[in-house]
A = this chain, B = another copy of it.
């Protein structure tokens, strides 16, 4: 195997109650990459479509992640990387993570899988750090592992894949405005009221329990955010109305995807997801900002060869 084509899925991080720790993997929305072995050592990004990104390996998220895995192995060959972006930068559904996860997965496959998927998360995180300014795994983890993931902690990185029920669907509304992760971090306070932190970790615990037990009602009750959403929602025009529209249409919960501006909802079953997507679209038409809609099952596989 000298060349593979890879699907690098979009992801939703935070999920209301799990700021910086929870994420899930989407199906049908993602970048494509082609990774090719080369006889000459080193890394070359040979083609980028769909986005205006640097070809310079050290300035490119995929390049930096690729360097991390290649430097760990020092293989006898080099790699050529083609990046075909479909996920827009700054959309809040893990654009940079998809590039970082895709390239480390692809190189690992071409080298005969010296690393487990869990081990790949660490390499992918190095690429993600170039985009967000610090090492975060809340988007790369679900992209690499699929399903729902919890980043328990760093030092050392400890990522857990969480079992989830089969009828969960995610709806994503992506307003065509860019919210930089650095900006959406800047609006956050350095401290949080202890009583709000307790509410938040109660909900996170409930959400994890809901995933393991397939308790959709509990998932819905737990999908609340009293810590981050009050600050970040101001950056997203129309947020409150779209969220209410999703809940009124029967979504289990709704909130900000990652750092925004995308707005997500979780739903039980495809029919409900379609109703919720329609309600969110209808609400957002009144805002006057162009947007994309996605409906997706939870992608339990993660990044894969296509």
Of B19, B190, B205, B227, the residue contacting A152 (CB under 8 A) is B205
- CB-nearest residue of chain B to A153: B202
| Chain A residues with a Cβ closer than 8 Å to the other chain, count | 39
Q: Check if A116 is an interface residue, CB within 8 A of chain B.
A: no
- CB-nearest residue of chain B to A197: B197
CB-defined interface of A239-282 with B at 8 Å, one 1/0 digit per residue?
00000000000000000000000000000000000000000000
Copies of this chain, tallied across the complex: 2
Q: How far is the CA of A17 from the CA of B198 in the complex (A)?
A: 10
Q: A198 to chain B: which residues have CB within 8 Å?
A: 19-21
Of B150, B160, B191, B206, the residue contacting A191 (CB under 8 A) is B191
Q: A206 to chain B: which residues have CB within 8 Å?
A: 150, 152-153, 158, 160
* Known contacts A152-B206, A209-B208; A189/B199 CB under 8 A: no
* Known contacts A150-B209, A209-B212; A197/B192 CB under 8 A: yes
CB-defined interface of A190-231 with B at 8 Å, one 1/0 digit per residue?
111110011111111110110011000010011000010000
Q: Is the CB of B150 within 8 A of A205?
A: yes
Q: A208 to chain B: which residues have CB within 8 Å?
A: 205, 208-209, 212
Q: A19 to chain B: which residues have CB within 8 Å?
A: 198, 201
Q: How far is the CA of A257 from the CA of B213 in the complex (A)?
A: 28
Q: Check if A18 is an interface residue, CB within 8 A of chain B.
A: yes
Q: Is the CB of B205 within 8 A of A205?
A: yes
* Known contacts A205-B21, A208-B208, A209-B162; A152/B221 CB under 8 A: yes
Q: Check if A140 is an interface residue, CB within 8 A of chain B.
A: no
A157-174 interface (Cβ within 8 A of B)? 158, 160, 162-163
Binding site for B on A (CB under 8 A): 17-22, 150-153, 158, 160, 162-163, 188-194, 197-206, 208-209, 212-213, 218, 221-222, 227
